[in-house]
Amino acid sequence: MNEKVTLPNSKKFFGIRFESIGGLGAHAAGKILATTAVLRMGLNGAHFSSYGSEKKGSVVRSFIRLAPAEKLIRSSAPIESPDVIVVFHSALLKNPATIAGMKAGGVLIYNGSESDEIPEIFSQLPSTTKIIRVDAQRIAVEEKSRPNAVLLGTLTATVPFIDFSILLESFSEEFSQRHPEAVASNEKAFRRGAKEIDRLSNIGKGTDDLPIMRADPVWGYENAPIGGVLPLPGNTVHNDLTVSRMGWLPLFHKDKCIHCGMCDMVCPDFCLVWKAADNNEVHLQGVDYRYCKGCLRCVETCPTGALTREIETPGMADKHRVKLFPELEGGA
Amino acid sequence: MSDVEMKKGAEEKNKQRSDFLTGNDAAALAIRDVNYDVMGYYPITPSTELPEALSMMQANGDHEISMVPGDGEHGAAGICYGASLGGGRVINATSANGLLYSIEQLPVQSGTRSPMVLNLVARTVSGPLNIRCDHSDLYFTLNTGWLILLARDPQAVYDLNIAAVKISEHPDVRLPIIVCFDGFFTSHQKRLIHVFENGDTIKTFVGKPNTPITALDPKNPATFGAYMNDPDMINNKKQHSLAMEAARRVIPEVLHELEELTGRSYPILDAYHMEDAEYAVILLNSAAETAKEVADQLREKGQKVGVLSPNVIRPFPADEFRKALKNVKAIVVGDRGDSYGADGGNMSLEIRAALQRDPDNKTVVLSRIYGLGGRDFYDDDAEAFFELAQNSSNAIAFDYYGTYKGEPDRNPPKGMPPIKAEEVTRSMAKVTKNAETGKLDVELEPLWAMSDVKSRIAPGHGACPGCGIFPMLHQMYRVLEGDLVILFHTGCGMVVTTGYPKTAHRITYIHNLFQNGAATLSGLVEMYYERVRRGELPESSDITFLMFSGDGGMDIGMGPAIGAANRNHRMIIIEYDNQGYMNTGSQLSYSTPMGHRTTTSEVGSVGSGKNFHHKDTAQIFSACHLPYVFTASEGFPEDLMRKVAKAQWYAKREGLVYGKIMSFCPLNWGVRDDAGQPVMQAAIDCCFFPLYEVEKGHTTISYDPDILGTRIPAINWFKQMGKTKHLAKPKNADIIKSFETEVDRRWKRLKAMHEHEEL
Ligand SMILES: Cc1ncc(C[n+]2csc(CCOP(=O)(O)OP(=O)(O)O)c2C)c(N)n1
Ligand code: SF4
Ligand code: SF4
Ligand code: SF4
Ligand SMILES: [Mg+2]
């Protein structure tokens, strides 16, 4: 099968950028979409993802550059002004870079739930941007699939030349080889992604394409210590790892805690907060969710059920958070 | 058959199809179809995908190349050298410090005129460590005597991998050859390319290797690598130089032959819009393609600009450059790598040298160092280069492009206050020498009591959820006392804690590449004691020195670690064993258990995971007769902490301590993030990972599943992990048997040592 499709502008590249977290399947989704566009829709294309030394849970961007078959693709640089942006995790919308370069008249799809507030930065978007919300996380959980399946479905419903049945077919083929057991559930998630969408209107206030963003490094050659030496012990405490959690967090129930310290021995992210108690013991106070990646090793280890595995709902982490370093954020 | 029919038959046979492949995929496909005999390799980003793709194909029976994982790149290069002396075809792939670690072997390979192909996936050379693309590694190869082809995109990677074999083996040349392409930009970017439907097309094209004298021909004995003194050496090198000259003729011939087959041409010097160009930009590989796109736009505006980019740089196309630049007013040569202090990057210097031989040439040459460490090259960067060429009169000849000065009051977030020795000297594990046994006793405080000991590592690091490296560190830091200086080998633990300009380490931390950490730390230890002896440092500072390595670092870095052990420096080496090269995406290490799936021991219709047994590092170090060797698991905190407390005692007083600690890797073991405890427990209960210590030569098992009645068959462990699920299939029964037999043999041996004082 090689159905010819036409891009909106035959002279220009069509750019799609996925903004994601390692583990949500953005790279795989980009690969499937681009491969389908090139090998089954008669387009020319390129696909790549941003690589640092990302582990599961850190920021990943995936880029798809498409062109008519006869147009050469030469540049291998990232796509700075995309026609379509797909945001795999709504927490990424706290960072303006996520939507940087959005073209006027483009499409922005994001993984979000109706009950969440509309992200503030959306007001910067051009008023002509089509903003699409899909609760990919919930659908993925319900269908035992992954958000990437849902979001691919959403793309077919919102970008005219991305054909629903062609993409679904190659998506299913991809899984039929390695994970035949996952085909049916992924298909369902894909179909729901194409249907259960909310088109938000009257949100973007801008007129033109959003400007691109290229961040300068913090230090430059005039002030960075020579040799790459870092005289800043432990300054990763300023990081916020909230986006690494994939929907679950541990909840602490003080009444059940015997302060045995077992959870502390297995927590890879040092997020348990302890305080000296009156009786010369040291007592667990709770979890600093700023650093918690939701691995739940602490829950698995706790002998008394004082830590439980919970689905993370909006605001939950802030409500229950106990700060490890109150001084960092000014006040307790 | 008529001529027409024959031609049609050939066309049919040589048919090409479209595919959408990355540069690494494209190289792997060409390698598969050349049908090399032996691949010697060692994983390093971004070239690792190449052996990975080949491993997957091999697991599915798509090729029979013998793939040999080296103990490091130096070893891999040695494997390749040996294999190439056998007369068959040999392939390797590497990048950056991998290349540099093997570089000593490169002149050996070329000097003995042994053809082979090396895919160099260009990456920045450390330090500081950076995994992205520049050409600093490529430039180190310029003087190795190898031929060097450059592949600008995945199509070129495929095509030139085919041509390379034939060029390298040509009887007038017989030199090893590098095919270099850009890391990530080309290696990891999927593009539409054309490949042969039938691998035989390539096999026919490259023909059979023809090595007149081999080391596998006992009837015709020969000496390879004689010792050669001064009157002969220079003549030998003259031959080498003549071979390079012959390559000037052979390379275009082979590329032309390939063009007849593929329809794609590769001139020695790729010239774009150069016919009447007055200004040009000269770049290597992927960036040149971006410049072409911009040249199109500028041409539309009437600017006479062009782009030059060589497809071959060894031999260097000096003639071609001279001709192409005859009427060009000014050029900007962009080098993705500096030749520090030479007043220009390597390409700019060689181009200048080429032009110098044309007395009429008046081209202004500007040299710019750009794109280091993978800095992207955008359209507007290319535009800036063209603009610079057109305004060359006031420009300085040599400069860096795309740097940033910094702002006086812009700084990374502040560090945490240093930890005072008293804050971490709280007797959480009291160590006393037992007068009777001569061994150490440890009394451990309850876990809760430790929970407010100041941590020497800060939260906020970037490891995967559930990663075992950090509970291990946390547990160790609970009991280690006083000031520590630590060194990390390259690996997950290092990469996720020190992403510039941030660091999770609150104490002094050093990284050196994982082939050399033990030597590095031993040097620092000696400096410490020497400066204390000279009175330059207070004796009371009392620093404990620790090195952390992954299991992989104990493959490539084994030599220096054994060296440090034999010299018995006062330091601790900790190997956190997660059973693979996890930082680079889970390739096999020698410590990976047999049958386990990794990306270089793939599972498929014929492949069933790693095909040799796990390395027993603890026993290797035990054989160095150290004061203390132990194994532990981050899943058994109390046992681990007792042993670490002893380790510190011995390392301060008697010498080197080695500890091998099992460390959970949910991502690459294929288990839930919270399954660390049960999975590691199973590894211990099936006796794969026995917990024991060797104290002054005496072995004591710390946990005996036989006695405790917790022993389980290996399959109960394997069933819990994605990487071993396939072993439950009946066809893999032999692997399990072999695994269990070996584990049992080692376990019994350990028990015998436990029982006998003299063993
Ligand atoms: C000379 C050299 N070769 C290869 C690499 C690539 N490399 C970096 S870390 C690593 C794997 C380390 O494995 P291990 O020591 O087990 O640590 P882990 O990543 O599992 O934590 C490899 C192959 C390198 N950086 N330098
Ligand atoms: S493991 Fe459970 S009981 Fe023990 S300290 Fe942690 S939360 Fe409390
Ligand atoms: S889930 Fe528990 S163990 Fe995992 S990071 Fe959060 S607090 Fe630590
Ligand atoms: S890949 Fe494994 S070892 Fe590396 S950070 Fe992730 S969990 Fe830890
Ligand atoms: Mg490892």
> Is B742 among the domain residues?
no
Q: What is the pLDDT of residue A177?
A: 81
pLDDT of residue A54: 57
Same structural domain, B297 and B365? yes
Check CB contact of A297 with chain B, cutoff 8 Å.
yes
Of the listed ligands, the closest to the CA of B467 is 4
What does the pLDDT average to over B70-78?
Answer: 98
Classify residue B248 as exposed, middle or buried by CB count within 10 Å of its CB (0-12, 13-18, 19+): middle
The closest CB to that of A234, out of B192, B378, B504, belongs to B504
Q: Average the pLDDT over B594-609 and give the result.
A: 97
Q: Does A215 touch chain B (CB under 8 A)?
A: no
Using a CB-CB distance cutoff of 8 angstroms, which residues of chain B are in contact with residue A280?
A: none
Do B296 and B258 lie in a common domain? no
Q: Please give the pLDDT value at position B644.
A: 98
What is the rounded average pLDDT for all residues in chain B?
97
Return the percentage of chain A with pLDDT > 90, whole number: 83
pLDDT given at position B6 = 65
Interface list for A 33-52 with B (CB within 8 A): 34-35, 38-39, 44-49, 51-52
pLDDT of residue A1: 46
**Do the Cβ atoms of B372 and B345 come closer than 8 Å?**
no
pLDDT at A332 over 50: no
3-state secondary structure A201-241: CCCCCECCCCCCCCCCCCCCCCCCCHHHCCCCCCHHHHCCC
Whether B329 and B475 map to the same domain: the answer is no
Domain that holds residue B346: 270-400
CB contact under 8 A, A232 and B413: yes
How many structural domains comprise chain B?
Answer: 3
Is B661 within the bounds of a domain?
A: yes
Given a cut of 80, is residue A128 above it in pLDDT?
yes
CA A178/CA A246 separation, integer angstroms:
23
Is B2 inside a domain boundary?
no
Which of A35, A48, A237 lies at the smallest CB-CB distance from B460? A237
Any domain includes B367: yes
Nearest one of A282, A287, A283 to A297, comparing CA atoms: A287
B606-662 pLDDT, tens digit per residue, is: 999 999 999 999 999 999 999 999 999 999 999 999 999 999 999 999 999 999 999
Amino acid making up residue B643: K
Does B575 lie in the same domain as B478? yes
Least confident of B10-24, B84-98, B166-180, B486-500: B10-24
Residues on chain B touching A297 (C-beta within 8 angstroms): 466, 471, 673-674, 676-677
| Among B294, B283, B276, B331, CA closest to B138 | B283
A residues 237-266 closer than 8 Å to B (CB): 237-239, 241, 244-246, 259-262, 264-266
Given an 8 Å threshold on Cβ–Cβ distance, is A236 in contact with B459?
yes
Whether B2 has a pLDDT exceeding 90, the answer reads: no
Chain B hits for A275, Cβ within 8 Å? 452
Distance from the Cα of A206 to chain B's closest Cα (Å) equals 25
For testing contact with chain A, the best of B18, B192, B285 (most A CBs within 10 A): B192
Q: Which of A55, A76, A223 has the most B C-beta neighbours within 10 Å, making it the best mutation to test the interface with B?
A: A76
Mean pLDDT of B560-581: 98
Cα B359 vs. chain centroid, distance in angstroms? 45
Q: Does B448 touch chain A (CB under 8 A)?
A: yes
Q: Tokens for A47?
A: 């696909």
The phi, psi pair for A278, rounded to 5°, reads -65, -35
Residue range B297-307, pLDDT digits in tens: 999 999 999 99
Q: Which whole number is the average pLDDT over A64-87?
A: 96
Whether B512 is in the pocket of ligand 1, judged by its Cβ within 6 Å, is: no
Q: Is B422 a member of any domain?
A: no
| pLDDT for position A115 | 87
Q: Provide the CATH number for the domain around residue B101.
A: 3.40.50.970
Check whether residue B324 and residue B366 sit in a common domain. Answer: yes
Same domain, B22 and B170: yes
Same domain for B282 and B254? no
Rounded to the nearest angstrom, the minimum Cα separation between A197 and chain B is: 30
Q: Is B406 in Cβ contact with A55 (below 8 Å)?
A: no
**In this structure, are B258 and B300 located in the same domain?**
no
From the CA of A272, how far away is ligand 3's center (Å)?
8
For B256, the token pair is 């032309």
The CATH number given to whatever domain includes residue B304 is 3.40.50.920
B464 lines ligand 4 (CB under 6 A): yes
In this prediction, residue A314 carries a pLDDT of 85
pLDDT of residue A331: 43
**Closest residue of A to B633, CA-based?**
A266
Average pLDDT over residues B503-507: 98
Are residue B256 and residue B308 in the same domain, yes or no? no
Is ipTM > 0.90 here? yes
B589 lines ligand 1 (CB under 6 A): yes
Residue A213: what pLDDT?
Answer: 95
Measuring CA to CA, which residue among B371, B403, B335, B373 is closest to residue B127? B373
Distance CA(B182)–CA(B123), nearest Å, equals 7
**Which among B192, B466, B501 has CB closest to A219?**
B501
On the question of pLDDT at B556 being above 50, the answer is: yes
pLDDT at B149: 99
- Whether B440 is covered by a domain: the verdict is no
Is B290 found in the same domain as B238?
A: no
Ligand closest in space to the Cα of A260: 2
Q: What is the mean pLDDT of residues B485-511?
A: 97
If pLDDT is split at 50, 70 and 90, which confidence band does B758 have?
Answer: confident
Q: Is residue B604 part of a domain?
A: no
- Looking at residue A179, its pLDDT comes to 84
Peptide bond between residue B46 and the one before it cis (omega within 30 degrees of 0)? yes
B587 pLDDT more than 80: yes
d(CA B110, CA B146): 6
Domains and CATH numbers, chain A: 14-200 (3.40.920.10), 236-329 (3.30.70.20)
pLDDT band (50, 70, 90) for residue B604: very high
Q: Is residue B437 part of a domain?
A: no
Q: For chain A, say whether B471 makes contact (Cβ under 8 Å).
A: yes
- Check pLDDT > 70 for residue B406: yes
pLDDT, residue B352, reads 98
Among the partner residues A51, A297, A324, nearest to B673 by beta-carbon distance: A297
Are residues B396 and B481 located together in one domain of the fold?
Answer: no
Spell out the residues 6+ positions from residue A130 whose beta carbon is closer than 8 angstroms to its own: A106, A107, A108, A158, A199
The two tokens of residue B645 are: 């407390």
Specify whether B45 is located in the same domain as B191: yes
